[in-house]
Amino acid sequence: MPQLVLKVDVDTYRGTRIGVPRLVELLRRYAADATFLFSLGPDHTGRAIKRAFRPGFMQKVSRTSVLSHYGLRTLMYGTLLPGPDIGRRCADLLCGVRDAGFETGIHCWDHISWQDGVRGEGPAWTEREMVLAADRYAALFKAAATVHGAAGWQMNLHALRLIRDLRFTHASDCRGWRPFIPVWNGEEVNVPQLPTTLPTLDELIGVDGLDETNVHEHLLSLTREAPATGHVFTLHAELEGMKLLPVLEKLLLGWQQQGYTLAALRQLRAELDPVTLPRHEIVWGTVPGRSGELLVQGAEIRREALR
């Protein structure tokens, strides 16, 4: 059976505390697996206000009703209110996700700091952020993290190298169409990337007549034909774990009816051999419905060109 991987990005304290338990309950009801990627440090969501000057951001905010999804208190964290430490306050909840049988991994230390800053930062800053997250994860779970999924699909070369050096076995840091080994400006970083292949709900809702009542039908139309390596769908604890939970339930039912096994990233990784995976450039690009640039899978590179 083809696989459809569910990747859950957990960005905020509220999403961790409220959205994650709801998602765990729903996924278990449908016997669906998933990978939960946690933000492990302070919630500074309120600092995202500076994104108002980014082209397309305010349009996205108006389409997706940020206040109703995130709540007023969350939108003040890091500005008018101190940002709660997610890893410390939610330690039992995070470990409970693993104990329920789901794959867990690292999203970031500070979501806003990473998403808005990593592209322009150097090795020291990048290593600090990643080591803080890796150390917190190891302290909570009593084991090293094996999977990484970058906040906002934002990375730099130093971060990709650290994915390798910190011994992650797989990552989902970009958008694309099939698993690959990333190549950044000619440098191969030999950790498989399992990119998000489908649009997210917040990229679709409010565009071309799509809303909470029919967006699932559009997504299901995109998955009628299964690619050889299946699909990876990214959802968010703050969205599908709360207001959009009924939409996710329709998707789970629809994907099972289409014949998919609802899996975690680790199942997809287990089927891959890094030696034979294609090599692709990893580059900056845009995705419809999302403001700014993010990392995307680029052109395939022949192996002889890397020698």
Supply the pLDDT for residue 85. Answer: 94
Residue type for position 216: H
The per-residue pLDDT string of the chain (307 residues; one tens digit each, 9 = 90 and over) reads 899 999 999 999 999 999 999 999 999 999 999 999 999 999 978 765 554 434 544 454 444 555 455 656 666 666 667 778 999 999 999 999 999 999 999 999 999 999 999 999 999 999 999 999 999 999 999 999 999 999 999 999 999 999 999 999 999 999 999 999 999 999 999 999 999 999 999 999 999 999 999 999 999 999 999 999 999 999 999 999 999 999 999 999 999 999 999 999 999 999 999 999 999 999 999 999 998 999 999 999 987 666 5
CB atoms under 10 Å from CB of 186, counted, come to: 9
Distance CA 100, CA 59 (A): 38
Residue type for position 109: W
All domains of the chain in start order, with CATH: 3-178+188-276 (3.20.20.370)
11 near 238, Cβ under 8 Å? yes
Is pTM beyond 0.85? Reply is yes
Output the CA–CA distances (angstroms, integers) from residue 75 to 12, 69, 98, in the order listed: 10, 10, 28
CB atoms under 10 Å from CB of 217, counted, come to: 12
Torsion region of 71: left, alpha or beta (phi above 0 gives left; psi -120 to 50 gives alpha): left
Distance CA 169, CA 270 (A): 10
Distance CA 55, CA 94 (A): 35
Supply the pLDDT for residue 302. Answer: 85
